[in-house]
A and B are shown apart, each in its own frame.
Chain A
Amino acid sequence: MAIDKFLVEASHIMMFARSVGDANPVYHDEEYAKKADVGGIIAPPTFAQSSAQFDPNYFLRPKVGGEGWFGSGKEASGAKPSSGSGESGGGGAAMGLHAEQHFEYHLPVKAGDVLSATTKPGNSWEKESKRAGKLKFSESVTEYRNQNGDLVITATGVGVQTERAVDS
């Protein structure tokens, strides 16, 4: 996955913060944020995950026209997902789940920043599990840089493909 332009916008930060139950005004009140230590609206710690919005081929988003989407319509499932970029989530399609996520913060990410991201595969390994059969883990490492070319966040995701649905 490569993302050329990940626009960090105040309204997106506001919506993202709401979705994770965060009422902190530093994510939605510009006047408050300007007077705070951070000096302006900043991104919450897991906001980089929403870079998926800026990946043109992200396969866990229905495309315009809805073609190829594997969720339910008239039938319980539409078409199977074609392989596409989705590594940033660390998760995957039907039986793909997100096992781990790690962020390293090098510089603050603020509203108005324009980030770019490149993802490289990391390690992969297998494990047997009583709850879900054979588990295939794979790691991906995404580097986010700002408009000055400075590294702002390193994100490491671990995805797992399970043999069957996880028993809860």
Chain B
Amino acid sequence: MLKESEIKIGDTHTAILVEDLKRTQIVQYAGASGDYNPLHTDEIFTTQVAGYPSVFAHGMLSMGLTGTMLTDYVGDGTLKKYGVRFTNQVWPGDTLTSTATIIDIREQDGERVVDLQIETTNQNDVAVITGNATARIES
């Protein structure tokens, strides 16, 4: 858990989420999450029927990877809120980097919390996820 005395507005935490994303990791996420949409698991369907250049990651895989950065930073079981927009697709071969920035430190429901702005970008500096989170902190 973050300690209020050790953080300030504007602090950032950055992590590389994945380098050279493999198709098999997308399949691994399909198996764990239960979402076997062929757009993520079936190159033939996705290129020949759906018209995409290749399979691509579930938005929820990008959100899950970003969540790993987030909980590594704010600690286990401290999140009160975590929400994202999927702004661009994530493709096999992508390398994703994610940053959380502290935008507020405040009181909510009798607890001290931190608000974070989140952005995950690919190797071309294109945002694939933008979002926000709120986590409990130690006062």
Contact = CB atoms under 8 A, between A and B. Distances in A.
Interface of A: 12, 15-16, 18-22, 24, 26, 36-38, 42, 44-46, 49-53, 58, 60-62, 70-72, 76-77, 89-91, 93-95, 97-105, 108, 156, 164-166, 168
A18 B60 CA distance: 14
A102 B85 CA distance: 9
Interface residues of B, number: 51
B68 interface: yes
A166 to B, nearest CB: 7
A60 B36 contact: yes
Interface of B: 1, 17-18, 25, 28-29, 31-39, 41-42, 44-45, 48-53, 58-61, 63-65, 67-68, 70-72, 75-77, 79-86, 88-89, 91
Nearest to B75: A37
A42 B77 contact: yes
A71 B33 CA distance: 18
Contact of A60 (B37, B45, B71): B37
Contacts, number: 159
B67 A100 contact: no
A119 to B, nearest CB: 15
Contacts of B59: 90-91, 97-99, 101
Contacts of A168: 53, 88-89, 91
Contact of A44 (B41, B58, B71, B75): B71
Contact of A21 (B38, B60, B65): B65
A49 B41 CA distance: 17
A96 B123 CA distance: 26
Nearest to A165: B51
